[in-house]
Amino acid sequence: MRRKAFTWWQAVLILVGLAIIAAVIFPFFGRARENEHPSSCQSNLKQIGLGIKQYVQDYDEKYPLVNSGQQGWMDIIMPYLRSTQTFQCPSDKTGSVAGTTDFFYNARLAGQKEDKLIYISNTIMNGDGAGDSPTNASLATFPAGWATDYNSPAWRHLEGANYSFADRHVKWLKPTAVTNAKANDSVNTFAPW
């Protein structure tokens, strides 16, 4: 028995069906790619945290300054890291410019002795910051506008951002989970004491 060929309208229906399936599935692929970046970003923050820890051990248990002469905190800890790419977040859409960072440093830690921190596991040390910032990019408080600005770094990774803490652990947090309040054992804060 001889088969009939598809008519043109059957071919159109098949193409429309495939287009609908693609429209439903492709956003999931885009989100899956974004899911890979937070782990790369977290790995970079972990390396930065370890670099700062090594610096603290070498310099009388004090955190690096935001600026020291012509150098920013990034330049100061660079000898403890393997690559300048560590300072770039793969999800940052501005690209990567040599000698810049996509992360901020908690300015309230600068020059402080580590043993003065009361809630070390809740004190933010670094986090997702503005793309291609200078080597001294720092924040003393969480910017109020970031909590509601979906284009801010606080929303870079699936409606949240990555932060490294003074005890060197790294965690993803929603913008509402970060505060400037006095440190205690249940808040993620910029205030070290």
Sequence ranges of the domains in the chain: 10-189
- Which residue from 123, 133, 170, 182 is spatially nearest to 153, judged by alpha carbons? 133
Distance (Å, rounded) from C-alpha 64 to C-alpha 109? 8
Check if the beta carbon of residue 121 is closer than 8 Å to that of residue 187.
no
Looking at per-residue pLDDT, the higher value among 114 and 10 belongs to: 114
DSSP-derived letter for residue 88 is -
What is the reported pLDDT for 69?
A: 87
Residue range 68-111, pLDDT digits in tens: 988 999 999 999 998 999 999 988 877 778 889 999 999 999 99
What is the reported pLDDT for 1?
A: 56
Distance (Å, rounded) from C-alpha 151 to C-alpha 143? 13
Q: φ and ψ at 9, to 5 degrees?
A: -75, -30
Chain mean pLDDT for the chain: 87
What is the reported pLDDT for 90?
A: 86
Looking at per-residue pLDDT, the higher value among 67 and 182 belongs to: 67
Q: What percent of the chain has pLDDT over 90?
A: 58
Classified as helix, coil or strand, 23 is helix
CB atoms within 10 A of CB 45: 26
What is the reported pLDDT for 19?
A: 84
Residue range 160-188, pLDDT digits in tens: 999 999 999 999 999 999 999 887 777 88
